[in-house]
Amino acid sequence: MKYFLLYFVLITCISSGYSQKHKTISGPVFQEFGYVFPIEDADLLLDKDKKYKVIFDVYSDEKKSSQMNPLINTVARFMNMHAQNGVKEDNMDIVLVLHGVATKNALNEAVFKKEFKNEHPNYKLLAALAAKKVKIYVCAQSLQSKGYDASDISEHVGISLSALTALVKYQSEGYQIINFN
């Protein structure tokens, strides 16, 4: 029994130390979203004084309509992670384009609830992104193909003629594309 207790205490201490070391944190841009691991010794970081123009291309989503789209949350993660490492919020000019299966994320709360029978898991995230001047667009082609109208879209989302239109427009203006689909 004595050895069991010693073993238990040792394992508990090791696990606690490990879990403390590998905890995610939020902020400074978003407190409720975009949790990341703090990294103290990275060899590669973004230049703190440079302006970054980034467009996120999101066309996939989890099959469960009750879960937040992790790819949209990646926008908040990007902003938090780099702000934690000294990039000013004003130096991050971000665009998010939703299309394909991710089109459902652009719906307003009422339409989403009617369609999927649960709360919109991305609504607060989209509102938070828009409040931080992230430009959010949904592809009108995807919107139409899914049977939705402009009135079905969240007030935080604009409508692009197509995802292709948004991607070409912003990339021609120097935005770097991030696509994790």
Q: Where are the domains of the chain?
A: 2-178
Which tens digits make up the pLDDT trace of 35-76?
999 998 899 999 999 999 999 999 999 777 889 999 999 999
CB 69 within 8 Å of CB 102: yes
User: How many whole angstroms from its chain centre is CA 169?
Assistant: 21
pLDDT of residue 51: 98
SS3 49: coil
Q: How far apart are CA 25 and CA 156, in angstroms?
A: 26
pLDDT of residue 21: 63
Angle at CA of residue 79, ends 75 and 83, nearest 5°? 170
Assigned CATH for 2-178: 3.40.1260.10
Total residue count of the chain as it appears in this document: 181
DSSP string covering 102-147: GGGGGB-HHHHHHHHSS--TTHHHHHHHHHTT-EEEEEHHHHHHTT
- Name the band, by pLDDT with cuts 50, 70 and 90, for residue 5: very low
Q: Is the pLDDT of residue 15 over 70?
A: no
SS3 171: helix
Find the mean pLDDT for residues 6-26: 57
Find the mean pLDDT for residues 83-88: 96
Neighbour-count burial for 162-173, b at 16+ CB within 10 Å, e otherwise:
bbeebbeebeee
pTM: 0.87
- Greater model confidence, 129 or 4: 129
User: What strand order describes the sheet that includes 176-178?
Assistant: 158-160, 135-139, 92-98, 52-58, 176-178
pLDDT of residue 20: 52
- Residues whose CB falls within 8 Å of the CB of residue 172, separated by 6 or more in sequence, listed in order: none
